[in-house]
Structure 1
Amino acid sequence: MTASLWLFVELECATRSPLVAAACCFNRGLVKLCAGHGSVLNENGEVEMDASIMNGKDLSAGAVSAVRCVANPIKLARLVMEKTHHCFLTDQGAAKFAADNGIPAIPGEQLVTERNKKRLEKEKHEKCAQKSDPQKSLGTVGAVAVDCRGNVAYATSTGGIVNKMPGRVGDTPCIGSGGYADNDIGAISTTGHGESILKVNLARLTLFHVEQGKTLEEAAEASLGYMKSKVKGVGGVIVVNKAGDWAVKWTSASMPWAAAKDGKLHSGIDLSDTSITDLP
C-alpha cells in the first residue's frame, strides 16, 4: 500500500484528550499523504475524500464521504460528531454543513498535485493494458490514541483509490470498517482495499476477536487473515487497548507506521524494518 501512515499516541492525563490527539495528527502535514491536499484522483481527475472519527468513551462518532472542497475532512467529521445528532454526512449535504460551520471551501484544483495527475494517467494506461491492480493504488492516514484513564479514540481519513468512479465510497468513513473505538475493548484504524474491508467489517471484526480473549496481535492476524482468505483483500491495522498495549499488522508488501509510548517512538515500513528512537 502506498502513502499509509499510522500513529499511536499514549497521552499523559494532563494533556489533551485522545480524541483531540487523534484528530490533531492530521494537522501536521500528514494529510498530504492521501487525505487532503495530495489525495489520489478519481477517473475525472478530481479529489473526493472520506473521513471518520470516534470517541470510545461514549461511542459518539462522525463521518463524511465524497467531500470535494475541504482541506481537512477529519475536521468536518469531528464537527458532525460534536454538532449534529447524526453520524454520517455525504457529498452536498456535507459541503453545506461545512459552510454553515465556518469551514472554508477551497477550489478543488488546489487539492490536486502533479504527482497524482501522473499516478492517474499511469493507472488509466495500466487499466487499458489490463495490468491494473486497484489494491496497489490506495493510501490512508489513520490514528489511534489512549490516555492514562483508558479513554481511547480513532480517526481515519483518505482520498480513496486512484481512478475510482465519482461518488465511490470505501471503508474509511464507515464506522466498524475504517475504524472503531470502545473504552471497554480498544481503538483501531484500518487501511487497505476498501471494498474488501467493507465486506468483512475489518475494524469491528478485529475488536470482536479481542473481546473473545485473543491478544491484540492474534486478533489483528486473525481478521486480516480472514479478509485475505475470504475476499483476497490486503490491508493493515493499528490497534490499542485501554491499558496502552498496541499492535500493528499488515498483509500488504509494506505499510509506513509509527507508535509513540513511554517517551519512545517506534516506527517502520517493511516487516523487517523497525526502529526505536527517543521522542524529543
Structure 2
Amino acid sequence: MSYTIKPWQDLTIQDDYMFKLVMRRKPICKRMLEKILHVPIRDIRYSDDEKTMKFQYEGKGIRLDVYVADDKGTVYDIEMQVRKPSDDGLYLRTRYYQSMIDMGLLEEGADYDELNPSYIIFICPFEPFDKGRHIYTFRNVCLEDTSLELRDGATKIFLSSVGTADDVTPDVKRFLEYVNGILSNDAFVQEIDQEIKRVKKLEEERVRYMTYAMKMQEERKEGIKEGREAMQHEMQHDLALKMLKDHKPIHEIVRYTELTENQIRKIAAENSNVSFGEESGRNV
C-alpha cells in the first residue's frame, strides 16, 4: 500500500500534525477545553510535544496528539480522530489510551488511589454513535441505578462535527464546522485559522513536517513489513503443527516450513498431542 505525503500547504485542522501545532498555542488549547467542558481553567502545562507511551517491550505504543494538565492536576488527552475504525475499535481505543495515561501517571510517582482526574477527548469528523449528537460524554455509572456514578475520575468525550442536535454552544458548533472546512466569523475559529496561516509561512515548521512525514512513511513501511513477516511466521508455525499431528519426520517439516529443527522441537514441546514420525528416531 502506497503512502503519499500530504503537501504542507494543504494541511488543515483535521491533520494530526497541524492540529498539534495549533494546540501548542496555550491560549487556543486552554480556550477550547473551557468551551467544551464549560469550566474555567486558570492555566495548563504541556507534557512532551507528542507524548509517546510504551510500557512493554513488545507492547503497542501510542502517540498522544495533545496531552496537557491544568493547574488542578486534571490531565487532558485531545485527539483528532479522522477515520472511524471498524467494529468497536474507536471505543476500545479510549480504554487503551486510559490505561496508558494511568500507567504514565503511576510511573511519575502517583499512588493508585491518588490518580489524577482525566479527560480523553476525541474530535471526529464522522458520526461515532449514529445518534446525531455533536457531543457524547461517558462516565462509569451503575447499571442498576444510573444516578450512582463510579467516581474514578475518568471521562471520555466524543465530539462529532457532523451532528445535527442542538446540544452544544454556538462557539463549539462553529469550531466543529471549521473541522469540516467551513470558515465562519466566530472569533475563536478566526484565531485558529489565522494561526494555521501563520504557521504555514514558517519555513522551519515546513521542514520539520517533511522530516516527520518521511519518518511516518518509513514507520508505516516497516510496520507493513513486520506484519507480513508475522503472518509468514504464523503460517509456518501452523504448517509445522499440522505436519507434527500427521507424524511427519522432522527433516521433512524443516524442508516444507523453512523453520529450524530447534523451532520445530519447541512447537512439539508446546503441544503434548503431537509427535515426530519414525525417522526422527524418537517421540517428543
Q: Would the TM-score normalized by the shorter structure come out above 0.5?
A: no
Scaled by the length of structure 1, the TM-score of the pair is: 0.28
Question: Which structure is higher in helix share?
Answer: 2
Scaled by the length of structure 2, the TM-score of the pair is: 0.28
Question: Which structure is higher in strand share?
Answer: 1
